[in-house]
Structure 1
Amino acid sequence: MNNYNNYPVISIDEIIRPTHLVIDLNVLRENFKRIKEHVYPAKVMPILKANAYGHGLVRIAQLMQELKADYIGVAVLEEGILLRENGITLPILVLGGIWGNQIPIFLKHNLTITASSIEKLNQVDEIANQMNVKAKVHLKIDTGMERIGVHYYNAKKFLDAAVNMKNIIVEGIYSHFANSEKADLSYTRLQLERFQEVINYAEKIFVEKPLYHISNSGAILQMPEANFDMVRPGIMLYGVYPSSETKKTVEVKPALTWKSIVIYFKVIKPNHPVGYGSTWQTDHNVRAVTVPVGYGDGYMRSMSHKAEVIIRGKRYPVVGTISMDQIVVNIENDSAYNGDEVILIGSNGNSKITVEELAEWAGTIPYEILTNINTRVPRVYVE
């Protein structure tokens, strides 16, 4: 099974690889507390998929269990199994679609299943009956994403079928917003109306009320009317806002710093190109340093000729094409020495580099920057 970066808690002194992440657990605690206060009395399901957005799945799940989160959300079965194997006892919802042959494994590990069709409900009910257990499911309603789930306009038959399953406990009914991080919330409000129609029908037929949830980070920040019984904070839990358009109604702070060190110093002469493709050269002598990080770590190649790093409190440009394992930084006439700290994401003195900046340089979104930080980059947790 994929380890999903199950690093132990180690101290900075124990780091072997100079390129590493430092994750401040106190910042995450405070972010969680602020989200919880903002949405009260709704429950909170922290989303820990994709290695907890790069922060380390197991350790962040342990923190959420310590903080008494109501639920945990992951994307795939393997993530849920890993958490169970590491002592996580909180309810865990696997948000992704399922195959029939996965169902016994879900039930064995007491993982909550996303049921996205009547056919899958029947499979779950049949296998739960064979195993003499009750399967916990959340019914997925498609209100406008067109990924998985029963369309809102076909939901009545789906809910009717779920009510009649003898070996299934419907713990929740949920959907997902497509555009809740945007300034224009018209489509999000349309999705909310569709979901409300489904809830109105569910209220008539379920004896035991399920948990209704649709609100992701953007909706938590911008649409309190969508909180219902539970919310699902993802990227905002880690201190990054879903987009520049999103209203920052909850103050959260980044919990992650990405660091490395200078491992080589050199002087580059004029007309001596740097890196693969010889895409950059200088017309005068410059001082430069090499840093052991590259696209193999998730420092994306598409940031070539745009990225900057911080050394000794000052920002410097990355020059040449970003390699798999190394980058070259032009420090012009300044000084730097082997072992000097290099900040890739984070701050030093008055200089700061954000996840959002890396996303802009790479032509992508902050989500991709965080989730692409490779598992070969050690995670160090500090209190």
Structure 2
Amino acid sequence: MAVTAALGTALDPPTLRTLPDAVAANVATALARTRSRMMAVVKADGYGHGALAVARAAVAAGVDWLGTTEVAQALALRAAGLTVPILTWLNPSGVDAQAAAAGQIDVAVGSVDALEALGGAPVRVHLHLDTGMAREGCPVGEWDTLVEAARRGGVRVVGLMGHLPLADRADPAANAPAVARLRAAGRALVRAGFAAPLTHLAATSATLTDPSTHFDLVRVGAGLVGIDPSGTVGLRGAASLTAPVTHSTTVGAGTPVGYGGTQVTARRTNLAVVPLGYADGIPRELSPEAAVAIHGRRHRVVGRVSMDQLVVDTGDRRVSPGTTATVFGPGGGETPTIHDWARWAGTIPHTIVTGIGPRVRRTIA
């Protein structure tokens, strides 16, 4: 997004910087809590941080596997030179089985129809059990049918997976039913003549809090970028979002700000415009505490967030166009974090980082 100050001076655009060192630190934290191998899940463009940047940082830090949503995303990682095993699941656009086989991409399969859609291609398969979410995977009551179809179809079953519906509670007792279901599914596979599969169930929360769920492999996605849904472990934010002030003005007491004049200044003060809005992923509905950092101090967002900009109250300091405003960063000092923004918006941090729009430039710090 081109940004120009009020007087026509060219400014640096709004920028999201991915921090590979933070990704590496988060990988180290997760690895210290498990004896299993680890998969870095880089779906949703690496949780908004750039799939390739996050994948490279995670692999360099010791991750053995990568996970994506679709085969095309996995092939893009292959084209960029990543050679570790990759698993793809969901695949809402279907599976190009020949491309997956050629790219050495594993595919998760949760139904007989999905298995048959592979058309006999020599693709490695992870059978996917619904372990309690009723969202994806094969229902427990249909598991034997899927296993028999896999046996007759001659596919290469190498993995077994499920998801934990209650892992964010950080309570092993809440995870126990899913663990039991997956263990029973694994026994059924072996009875059917398959080799013991690579088994995986835990995502970030369970990786950090419940070793009983770790099996052979754990899948860490949100944790890579500093989000622990269980709220029990301190992880490092892996990005910063900055933008230049494009306009500033001094206003008197009683000045309405933004569309609808929903906020009125209580005193003489200075206002600064930052060129980010809800089209860029800034939540429109925010609590009065929402703020950005300028010159190491927090300044609150005032008035409604517009499509392309927001206004902050800088108090007795009038800042010049071109001054950097930090919307969020890895934490420390007065810089807001993605967790702050999630709290101010009444949402989860995942929606903050995955919602940053395409007009924002992406770089790697």
- The answer (yes or no) to whether the contact 1:152–1:195 under 8 Å persists in 2 is no
Q: Counterpart of 1:72 in structure 2: which amino acid? A: L
- Which of 43, 62, 70 is the aligned partner of 1:76? 70
Structure 1, 194-203 or 184-193: larger mean CA deviation: 184-193
Q: Percent identity?
A: 29
Is the alpha carbon distance of 1:263 and 1:316 closer, same or farther for their aligned partners in structure 2, counting shifts above 3 Å? same
- The answer (yes or no) to whether the contact 2:200–2:215 under 8 Å persists in 1 is yes
Equivalent residue number for residue 7 of structure 2: none
What's the Cα RMSD here? 2.3
**How many residues end up aligned between the 2 structures?**
356
Q: Deviations over 1:324-349 (max 9, x none)?
A: 22110011223422222211112687
Q: Matches of 2:171 and 2:267 in 1, distance apart?
A: 49
Equivalent residue number for residue 6 of structure 1: none
Is the alpha carbon distance of 1:113 and 1:349 closer, same or farther for their aligned partners in structure 2, counting shifts above 3 Å? closer
Q: Counterpart of 2:50 in structure 1: which amino acid? A: G
SS at match of 2:117: helix
* TM-score normalised to structure 1 length: 0.86
Equivalent residue number for residue 189 of structure 1: 176
Is the alpha carbon distance of 1:65 and 1:342 closer, same or farther for their aligned partners in structure 2, counting shifts above 3 Å? same
Is the alpha carbon distance of 1:348 and 1:112 closer, same or farther for their aligned partners in structure 2, counting shifts above 3 Å? closer
- Which of 93, 107, 114 is the aligned partner of 1:120? 114
Q: Does 1:45 align with 2:32?
A: no
- The answer (yes or no) to whether the contact 1:17–1:378 under 8 Å persists in 2 is no
Equivalent residue number for residue 36 of structure 1: 31
Q: Matches of 2:13 and 2:81 in 1, distance apart?
A: 30
Equivalent residue number for residue 152 of structure 2: 164
CA shift, 1:138, in A, is 0.9
* TM-score normalised to structure 2 length: 0.90
SS at match of 2:74: helix
- Which of 201, 205, 229 is the aligned partner of 1:214? 201
Q: Does 1:103 align with 2:97?
A: yes
Is the alpha carbon distance of 1:216 and 1:138 closer, same or farther for their aligned partners in structure 2, counting shifts above 3 Å? same
Is the alpha carbon distance of 1:110 and 1:253 closer, same or farther for their aligned partners in structure 2, counting shifts above 3 Å? same
CA shift, 1:69, in A, is 2.6
Q: Matches of 1:347 and 1:79 in 2, distance apart?
A: 27
Structure 1, 155-164 or 290-299: larger mean CA deviation: 155-164
Q: Counterpart of 1:195 in structure 2: which amino acid? A: L
Q: Deviations over 1:60-102 (max 9, x none)?
A: 2233343453211111233223223322222221121456563
Q: Does 1:153 align with 2:136?
A: no
Q: Matches of 2:174 and 2:216 in 1, distance apart?
A: 22
- The answer (yes or no) to whether the contact 1:179–1:185 under 8 Å persists in 2 is no
The correspondence of residues 256-275 of structure 1 with structure 2, limited to 5 A, is 256-275=239-258
Q: Matches of 2:337 and 2:80 in 1, distance apart?
A: 32
- Which of 49, 55, 67 is the aligned partner of 1:55? 49
SS at match of 2:243: strand
CA shift, 1:121, in A, is 1.2
- The answer (yes or no) to whether the contact 2:97–2:123 under 8 Å persists in 1 is no
CA shift, 1:186, in A, is 4.0
Q: Matches of 1:38 and 1:320 in 2, distance apart?
A: 44
